[in-house]
Amino acid sequence: MKIREVNKEDFLKVAEFAKNCPPLEPYPLHFYKIMFRYHRGVSLVAEEEGSVLGFAFGLVAQSLPRTCFFWQVGVSPKAQGKGLGKKLVSFFEKKVKEAGCVRVELTVDLGNIPSQKLFESMNYRNASSQEKATVEEEGKIAAKDYYGPARHFMVYEKILL
């Protein structure tokens, strides 16, 4: 298995992968094309024999100094439980540091327990309380209406040392 930066041709494979990897939220093809053309320095794919096993991507923030937004990470069901998620996050953090960032921010749906566990195990902290309004569901604090009405998401952050 190899983890590498995406290239602009990877967008079709990754879009198909995301569509078939719940609980990931799949996006239209053009979204992946744009991300991989313009933000590939902090976008990664894990592959084996030409097949996508996982990916991670984000973008360096223009409005928050030295911050990178970690948009999405996904691991194939056949590769889950083998440490690939942690490898992708670690490699992503390395690329983010190389891009001059010291802070990573991301959001996680309240129902996405695997992502919550992954990021919390890697020392990301729930920073949702820094948002204007919060809600508490099942003992978890989330930013209220973060992505629209009733779309409450947990906001996580990590300072890279």
Q: What is the pLDDT of residue 105?
A: 98
pLDDT (tens digit per residue) in 35-93: 899 888 899 999 999 899 999 999 999 999 999 999 999 999 989 999 999 999 999 99
Q: What is the pLDDT of residues 79-138, one digit of tens each?
A: 999 999 999 999 999 999 999 999 999 999 999 999 999 999 999 999 999 999 999 998
Estimate to the nearest angstrom the gap between the alpha carbon of 5 and the chain centroid: 14
The position carrying tokens 């952050």 is 157
Architecture of domain 102-161: 3-Layer(aba) Sandwich (3.40)
What fold does the segment set 1-101 form as a domain? Aminopeptidase (3.40.630)
Domain spans in the chain, listed from the N-terminal domain onward: 1-101, 102-161
| Residue whose C-alpha is closest to residue 45's, from 84, 81, 93, 82 | 84
pLDDT of residue 161: 83
